[in-house]
Amino acid sequence: MAVFDTPQEAFGALRPVCVQLTRAQTVENVARLQAHLAAVSASALQELQEYVLFPLRFALKVPGPKQERLVQSVVQCISSVLAATCVKKQELLQELFSELCTCLSPPSGSGRPAPLSEELKLAVIQALHTLMHSAYGDVILSLYQPSTLPLLGFAVSLLLGLAEHEKAKQIKISALKCLQVLVLQCDCQEHRHLDEDEAQQCGDLFASFLPGISITLSRVITGDIKQGHKPTVSAIRLFYLIVGLVMADAQLARIPKNKEKLLAEQSRISELTVHRGPDWSKSTAEKLSLLLHKMVEFSSVHPHWKVRLELVELVHHLLRNCSQSLVDSFSHLLKALVGLVNDENSEVQSRCNEVLQGIAEQRIVAQNRALADVLSENLHSLATALPRLMNSQDDTGKVSTLSLFLGYLKLLGPKINIVLNSISHLHRLSKALMQVLELDVTDVKIVEDRRWGCESACRPSGSLQHGVQKGRCQKKYFRFFTEEKVFQLLQQVCRVLGYYGNLYLLVDHFMGLYGESGMYRKQAAMVLNELIAGAAGVGVDVLQEREVSLNTDDLKGSITSILDEYTDQANWYLITSIDTEEISHEHSVQHSGLTARPGACSSILLPSPELHVTTRTMNSNIWQICIQLEGVSCFAAVLGKEFRLLLLSALYPVLEKAGDKTLLISETALGTLVDICEACSYDSLQCLINENSDYLVNGISLNLRQLAHQARASQVLDTMLRHSDASLLPLVEDVIQDVLSTLDQSYNNQASTFLRVLHSVMAALVQWFGSSCGEKHRQRQTAEWQSRALSQGQHMVTRQEVERFFLDYVRQKQIAEGNFPDAGDEEADEIPPLAKLEPNDSATEGETSLPSHAQLAKDVMERCIHLLSDGNLRVRLKVLDVLELCVTVLHPHGNHLLPMAHRVWPALVTRLISDDPLAVLRAFKVLCTLAQKCGDFLRQRFSKDVLPKLTGSLLSQAPASARAGPVYNHTLAFKLQLAVLQGLGSLCEKLDMGESDLNKVADACLIYLSAKQPMKLQEAAQRSFLLSSKTVPQHLCYSSSQLDSKV
């Protein structure tokens, strides 16, 4: 607490030291005064302010050289007095201001600051700063009169010199902050806010200093980076504050065109003042534009984030206050602002987004045509350079470039039609997008990936829908970039165009590009898809709402026109593969035995030499179809339930592509179907198909009558069957009968196409009826087999028992060295003919009509019997696949299955013993299925016609597999051996083979138990041996004796 609270007491204490200081100006006397001031209260010191300041000011005014220590101590003492008091007199303010500035004045004729110590310079700057804050109320404004202009100019030049030339960072920062206070732009809240007229007056005065201040500050900002970020930040802040004051649109609008005539005594002052008329404003704006361009280029890449953040504030401040006067500078300013949206620092990003949002909400661009023109020109220039930049920059540079491009579009907002209505602008913008979005179509894998067979035929539609949803969007590969972020920015560019732009104009223009050249078709389709999404406001990020919402009818009209173009035959039915099964005929080649020869089936893998479609073209066509399918998904998502009205034209083509053999196309089409279900509120893909099956079936029926459309119609039917349920069967039954009738008339030409349909039908029937109808029959067969086994006194033989038996046998033999008894007489293996079969539970099935699905399977099986001897290997393979499914469907109806098995047997045997190895492998699989379903009906036939060939082949192939290396596991011969070894055991079990046949199987399997054989063949032989042992356990004795003889 102060000792002297009253002016009288304080005067008594301070008078001696003040008198002493006046008489002798020494550092000690100043220190003594400083010490006494600490004991005086603020109120008492306020009353004695001028008295105390007098000896200090006198010390500064004494002529002659002075010690720097003395001047520094005097200035610091003045600063402490001013900090505790207020300056209430204008004269005192101006005199103190002048005296302090004089302390920094350079020698006459020198343009640089005086060669003073850093401590003294810092003390004077701090004293000036304190003086400006101690000015009371309106007293401060007395310093900002035309008459004081020279004094202000003197102070400004001193501070600018210190900010530019001083090496000490603290002096530079203090000088810049003091200068900020001097131009009445202090950050503190102590100064009262200037009213309109006062701000106008200060703007007129500071206009005289603007050239010097702006040039010097630009040099500080772009100076050596070693000075640190704080001087740069302070210089940027001071720059936009002084420019924002002098070039404010509100002030310049009130400036008269002509300068007022002043009185004679004011004429000299008038020479120093600036008239901020239109000519001056235009000239100054041009010069500031150069400075701003230089500053922005430097600051936008400054390594310190606070400098970049202050640059954002510069753009915000100038755009808010000088959007008209500095309109030519915003080409650079907005570029910097938009470019910093993706800054690595989160605070810079956040502030950028806030500023951009504020610009949009205040409609600064929308209400300023000149600013919109600047943005449109920037956009045109960037669009012109975009292909070059995307080809030369790295991914980071591409992201920055596209972020800038997108930022321009967002800032234009509703004014984007200024660009679109210009032919040159729209042409340049669209061609840039076409070039940048060019896809990489060199990947052969896209063409190679095929959808073989009917992989998802047995999968429930619900799980399919879930699986498609998880990976719905196909990843695209572009020529000019690989970063996913780049593609996302391009998507946003297109969506913002669709959101703000004239949709009819954009759709018409890009539809023209779509039809103009195949080079642009994929890119144009991608852009059209995104335009529609943007127009509907789906997934678009904008700064402001559009002025007029889009009419749903307009959107539907655009979608309809695009959809019609997409599904046009010229754009929908493109060559995506070279399928030779219809255009080349394979010569019949009879293969003896079961030996797999390399290259045996190579003829079916090579394309026809007559076709000259490149892989690049097929890849391009595949991507075009996929992009168009994604477009259908987008249109459905946009229209929602309204898309149901377009299903009549869209659903059938999409189902065609869902059945396409190209994997990428079929997966994309399935994703599109799932999207349609969601958009149109169908519960599942099954519901979508069933509820629209009437017109789909009609379309299939009509197209099956036209040779050119048969393959496509079969794809639609295939897709419907794979993703529906049994309720669809009555609707498609007539169509399937039409397929069978057509197949009867064109076995040679269309067999492959229709067999694919029949395969889909049979797979669907197995999925719908096979498991449920066959369960009871399988349970009955199992019970019969178990009861028969028990009645014969047999028991189940396990693997451990077999192993124990052999070990015990070897041990006994080693002890006794005798012969093991013979296994006994072979059992007779006779089977009653078909006419003498004992009746079973299904004997009455022939008396009643078959269910529709079973009758259908029987009809299909009839055709398979005739086609099993077709000369085309692919046809034979498909027939075998269909035949296996037919057997599964007819399984519960034994009285119909067994006669059909009797009829199919001769052709099947031919496939097993004298065909291509691929056909043999497939035929053996059919044989296993037939044996499982027909049981011992096939025992004698198998024993007589097939078993000798199979065992003979196994024995002949055993030496080769024993000598082979690990590569052998990948050969067709190995696969055939493995399939036969895996199947023989189950065949013996299902057919209840006799002991003589089991001995043949044992002979063939035993040789594969050798450690020299591949491990998989050993395991398969072991399993077959175990299964065959379950039928007649006593034949193990024979097998062991055989093993002993071989050993």
DSSP string, 313-326: HHHHHHHHH-TTTT
Q: Which residue has the higher pLDDT, 116 or 804?
A: 116
DSSP 260: P
What digits encode the pLDDT tens for the residues 740-773? 887 777 666 677 778 888 888 888 888 888 655 5
Neighbours of 370 (CB within 10 A): 12
Q: Comparing C-alpha atoms, which of 210, 267, 208, 204 is closest to residue 239?
A: 210
Give residue 467's pLDDT: 44
Q: Comparing C-alpha atoms, which of 867, 878, 892, 886 is closest to residue 929?
A: 886
Distance CA(1040)–CA(691), nearest Å, equals 65
pLDDT score of 170 more than 90: yes
Q: Which residue has the tokens 């036209």?
A: 706
Distance CA(349)–CA(342), nearest Å, equals 6
pLDDT score of 878 more than 90: no
What digits encode the pLDDT tens for the residues 337-347? 888 887 889 99
In the numeric block, which tokens belong to residue 287?
A: 């010069």
pLDDT score of 609 more than 70: no
User: Coil, strand, or helix at residue 478?
Assistant: strand
Distance CA(116)–CA(333), nearest Å, equals 39
Give residue 457's pLDDT: 43
pLDDT score of 707 more than 50: yes
pLDDT score of 1037 more than 60: no
Distance CA(687)–CA(462), nearest Å, equals 11
pTM of the model: 0.74
- Asked if residue 648 lies in contact with residue 467, where contact means CB atoms within 8 angstroms, the answer is no
DSSP 819: P
Give me the torsion for CA of 503, 508, 512, 515, rounded to 10°. 90
Give residue 912's pLDDT: 82
Q: Which residue has the tokens 């669209």?
A: 430
pLDDT score of 1039 more than 90: no
Q: Comparing C-alpha atoms, which of 542, 375, 400, 415 is closest to residue 481?
A: 400
pLDDT-derived band at 873 (thresholds 50, 70, 90) equals confident
Distance CA(599)–CA(361), nearest Å, equals 72
Distance CA(748)–CA(742), nearest Å, equals 11
Determine which of 204-213, 243-252, 589-598, 932-941 has the lowest per-residue pLDDT on average: 589-598
pLDDT-derived band at 589 (thresholds 50, 70, 90) equals very low
Give residue 572's pLDDT: 92
Amino acid, res. 274: V
- Asked if residue 655 lies in contact with residue 715, where contact means CB atoms within 8 angstroms, the answer is yes
Distance CA(866)–CA(85), nearest Å, equals 117
What digits encode the pLDDT tens for the residues 927-942? 888 888 887 777 788 8
- Asked if residue 246 lies in contact with residue 276, where contact means CB atoms within 8 angstroms, the answer is yes
What digits encode the pLDDT tens for the residues 804-842? 666 766 666 565 554 444 444 433 344 344 333 344 444
What digits encode the pLDDT tens for the residues 460-508? 444 444 444 433 567 888 988 888 999 999 999 999 999 999 999 999 9
Distance CA(551)–CA(553), nearest Å, equals 5
In the numeric block, which tokens belong to residue 687?
A: 């519901």
Distance CA(182)–CA(187), nearest Å, equals 12
- Asked if residue 622 lies in contact with residue 665, where contact means CB atoms within 8 angstroms, the answer is yes
Give me the torsion for CA of 814, 816, 818, 821, rounded to 10°. -100
Q: Is 431 exposed, middle or buried (0-12, 13-18, 19+ CB in 10 A)?
A: middle
pLDDT score of 1038 more than 50: no
Give residue 813's pLDDT: 59
Residue 617: partners with Cβ closer than 8 Å, 6 or more residues away:
575
Distance CA(117)–CA(136), nearest Å, equals 31
- Asked if residue 473 lies in contact with residue 465, where contact means CB atoms within 8 angstroms, the answer is no
DSSP 831: -
DSSP 770: I
Q: What is the CA radius of gyration of the chain?
A: 48
Share of the chain above pLDDT 90, in %: 33
- Asked if residue 460 lies in contact with residue 771, where contact means CB atoms within 8 angstroms, the answer is no
**Mean pLDDT across the chain, nearest whole number?**
81
DSSP string, 76-113: HHHHHHHHHS-B--HHHHHHHHHHHHHHTPPPTT--SP
Give residue 191's pLDDT: 67
Give residue 1033's pLDDT: 54
Distance CA(407)–CA(993), nearest Å, equals 80
Residue 404: partners with Cβ closer than 8 Å, 6 or more residues away:
335, 338, 339, 382
List C-alpha distances in Å: 1013 to 45, 345, 512, 594, 685: 112, 65, 66, 19, 49
Q: Which residue has the tokens 């041990």?
A: 811
Region 83-88: mean pLDDT is: 92
- Asked if residue 316 lies in contact with residue 324, where contact means CB atoms within 8 angstroms, the answer is no
pLDDT-derived band at 711 (thresholds 50, 70, 90) equals confident
pLDDT score of 631 more than 90: yes
pLDDT score of 75 more than 90: yes
- Asked if residue 272 lies in contact with residue 258, where contact means CB atoms within 8 angstroms, the answer is no
Neighbours of 394 (CB within 10 A): 9
In the numeric block, which tokens belong to residue 191?
A: 């100064």
Amino acid, res. 458: C
Amino acid, res. 908: L
Mutual angle of helices 729-745 and 710-722, in 10-degree steps? 150
Region 258-281: mean pLDDT is: 72
- Asked if residue 400 lies in contact with residue 410, where contact means CB atoms within 8 angstroms, the answer is no
Furthest-apart CA atoms within the chain: distance in Å: 149
- By residue count, the chain amounts to 1047
Give residue 815's pLDDT: 58
pLDDT score of 1046 more than 50: no
Q: Comparing C-alpha atoms, which of 216, 207, 210 is closest to residue 158?
A: 216
What digits encode the pLDDT tens for the residues 548-584? 888 889 999 999 999 999 999 999 999 888 765 433 3
Distance CA(589)–CA(871), nearest Å, equals 9
Distance CA(864)–CA(517), nearest Å, equals 47
Distance CA(97)–CA(124), nearest Å, equals 10
Distance CA(286)–CA(290), nearest Å, equals 7
DSSP 593: B
Determine which of 22-31, 50-59, 367-376 has the lowest per-residue pLDDT on average: 367-376
Distance CA(404)–CA(409), nearest Å, equals 9
